[in-house]
Amino acid sequence: MPPSLRLKDVLAFERGSLAPRFTVWIVMAVAVLSIATGLANISAQSVVGPLAEFIPVGIQRTAGFTGVFTGFLMLTSALGLRRGLHSAWLLTVALLPLTALQGLLQSSPLSAPLVLLSVLALPNVLYTRDRFSRHLSLSTSQQAAFVAIVGVLIYGTVGAYALREDFGGVTTMVDALYYTLVTASTVGYGDAVATSQGARLFSMSVVVLGAASFALALGTLLGPLLEARFAKALGRMSDRNYELREDHVLILGWGELTAAILEELSADADFVLVTDDQERIPVLSDQGIDVLSGNPSDEAPLRAAGIEHAKTVLVATEDDGEDALAVLTARELNPDVRIVAAATNRENVHKLERAGADSVISPIALGAKMLVESSFESA
């Protein structure tokens, strides 16, 4: 391989692999610092930082509470970044200036690292924008759950504010939102009380609608995860559950070599096979093998098979041209994954390596070597 091409590959790999991973870790660090700093400043008796004389204690305490909330949002965005979601990238870009501002408002020695890390993280997040391009796909039930929760919150807040004269403890929109949250979640602290028949009927409707919407949201969010765990334990998976897997082996293509690979894998190995051999798919499924229908060189089936979180990719389509396309696609979708390919023709070994494979094996060359070694051993 020419030195210039080797240097180009190394630079591309460094940018494509290390930078996104560093982005995820630094965002997680900001999230943890935001939570820790907020909790520490909530209990602080006074502002002791360099901006103490300019910031009232009430604003500092408020920044502490919001800092904890922002920290948990940042953790959520970090998990989204780990899956390459563009929406998580947008949320991170919006939250980083907020965490820096909250650190300044809390104005304590503990908040200095938070401000510094937030400022340093933002350029790195902006630099790695292209690495977080996956769009978040929500099912119809998930969209309905989101709309239901937002609708209940709007209904309860507007209704409680409109009936504020019939409620004790509700005078502002914030009070109305607080009432809606504690009522819909069935917490009910008792500091916002209905004082008329109409207000009580309204409260009952908020309880029923809120409980139903929260139950729907939990079902749509946790249901697929639980289904994936049970299906994995039982040995069968549905197409929508493959992408929930992590640290599994992804096998691309079907042929005689693929059959041998499946025989060599241990019984407890976690793997998914992607092939467009429609005649072979039902046979493999009946054997309890997790198989996904699709072209091994297309992005959609590889994403559906959870390539972003796969541990290893084995490419063996018995067509070196298809193998090269599959390697290119896999490397683009997951720069960190280890890719092992099989070259049908020995002269294509270096081509598959240039395509992005970490290791390329030629069954013909390997078989010839074993034959020669066996002949000398027998002699």
Closest CA to 236 of 290, 174, 291, 173: 290
Contacts of 170 (CB under 8 A, 6+ apart): 160, 161, 163, 164, 176, 179, 192
Identify the pLDDT of residue 11: 39
Identify the pLDDT of residue 225: 58
Q: Say if CB 99 and CB 74 are below 8 A apart.
A: yes
Q: Is 16 exposed, middle or buried (0-12, 13-18, 19+ CB in 10 A)?
A: middle
Q: Is the pLDDT of residue 226 over 50?
A: yes
Q: What is the DSSP letter of 290?
A: -
Q: Is the pLDDT of residue 359 over 50?
A: yes
Instruction: Please give the full DSSP string across 224-287, using - where no structure is assigned.
Output: HHHHHHHHHHHT---GGGGGG--S-EEEE--SHHHHHHHHHS-TT--EEEEE--TTHHHHHHHT
The pLDDT of 344-363, averaged and rounded, is 83
pLDDT band at 150 (very low <50, low <70, confident <90, very high): confident
Can you tell me the distance from the alpha carbon of 241 to that of 377, in angstroms, rounded to the nearest whole number? Answer: 49
Q: Is the pLDDT of residue 86 over 50?
A: yes
The pLDDT of 254-261, averaged and rounded, is 80
* Same-domain pairing of 195 and 272: no
* Same-domain pairing of 62 and 49: yes
Beta bridge partners of 292: 274
The tokens for 273 are 């096979």
- 188: CATH: 1.10.287.70
Q: Is the pLDDT of residue 12 over 50?
A: no
- 310: CATH: 3.40.50.720
Q: Is 84 exposed, middle or buried (0-12, 13-18, 19+ CB in 10 A)?
A: buried
Q: Which residue has the tokens 């010839």?
A: 368
The pLDDT of 207-215, averaged and rounded, is 85
Q: Is the pLDDT of residue 237 over 80?
A: no
pLDDT band at 367 (very low <50, low <70, confident <90, very high): low
pLDDT band at 334 (very low <50, low <70, confident <90, very high): confident
Q: Say if CB 346 and CB 365 are below 8 A apart.
A: yes
pLDDT band at 244 (very low <50, low <70, confident <90, very high): low
Instruction: Give the range among 44-58, 162-176, 286-300 with minimum mean pLDDT.
Output: 44-58
The tokens for 115 are 């401000």
Q: Is the pLDDT of residue 373 over 60?
A: yes
Instruction: Give the range among 53-57, 93-97, 200-204, 282-286 with minimum mean pLDDT.
Output: 53-57
The pLDDT of 305-312, averaged and rounded, is 85
Q: Is the pLDDT of residue 209 over 50?
A: yes
Given 175, 201, 234, the domain boundary residue is: 234
Given 178, 201, 234, the domain boundary residue is: 234
pLDDT band at 47 (very low <50, low <70, confident <90, very high): low
* Same-domain pairing of 56 and 25: yes
Containing structural domain, residue 151? 140-234
Beta bridge partners of 275: 293
Tell me the three state secondary structure of residue 101. helix
Q: Is the pLDDT of residue 42 over 70?
A: no
The tokens for 199 are 């207000």
Q: Which is more confidently placed, 358 or 106?
A: 358
Helices (H), the chain: 3-13, 19-42, 57-82, 86-106, 111-127, 140-162, 173-184, 197-234, 256-264, 280-286, 299-304, 320-333, 349-355, 363-378
Q: Is the pLDDT of residue 195 over 60?
A: yes
Q: Please, what is the end-to-end C-alpha distance for the chain in angstroms? A: 38
* Same-domain pairing of 21 and 73: yes
* Same-domain pairing of 152 and 121: no
Instruction: Give the range among 69-78, 81-90, 322-331 with minimum mean pLDDT.
Output: 81-90
* Same-domain pairing of 216 and 118: no
169 phi and psi angles, rounded to 5 deg: 100, 5
Identify the pLDDT of residue 191: 77
Can you tell me the distance from the alpha carbon of 217 to that of 145, in angstroms, rounded to the nearest whole number? Answer: 5
CA angle 268, 271, 276 (to 5 degrees): 140
Given 93, 108, 131, the domain boundary residue is: 131
Identify the pLDDT of residue 93: 92
* Same-domain pairing of 126 and 153: no
The pLDDT of 55-72, averaged and rounded, is 75
Rounded to the nearest integer, the mean pLDDT of the chain is 77
- For the chain, the domain total comes to 3
